[in-house]
Amino acid sequence: MKFKAEIDIMPLKALLDPQGKAVTSSLKNLDLSEIDNVRIGKHISLEIEADSKEAASAKVEEACKRLLANQVMESFEFELEEIA
């Protein structure tokens, strides 16, 4: 079975996100002052072969922990969908 994972990686809430802060102030310059607290992370999609959704989920989790996210500074979450 083949699955597709859609992974979101975000800076931890406790951390200053200078990129998000700069974008927040830029949006205010566009008269969109209602918008606040922009935070910018990464979206990663990948495909994975596995015997079950559980097995695929375990592999994606391992990929996130070992390489895709650095848990000292980032959190991650993902959704899996069977594609074949």
Stretch that binds other proteins, among 18-26, 31-39, 52-60, 76-84 (CB under 8 A): 18-26
**65, 70, 77, 81: which one contacts other proteins (CB under 8 A)?**
70
Contact window for other proteins (CB under 8 A) among 13-21, 45-53, 54-62, 75-83: 13-21
Burial class of 56 by CB neighbour count within 10 A (0 to 12, 13 to 18, 19+): buried
74 within 8 A of 4, measured Cβ to Cβ: no
Told to check if 18 binds other proteins by CB under 8 A, we report yes
Instruction: Label each residue of 43-79 as H, E or C.
Output: EEEEEEECCCHHHHHHHHHHHHHHHHCCCCCEEEEEE
Q: Is 28 in the site for other proteins (CB under 8 A)?
A: no
Residues that bind other proteins (CB under 8 A): 11, 15-16, 18-19, 22, 67-68, 70, 72-73
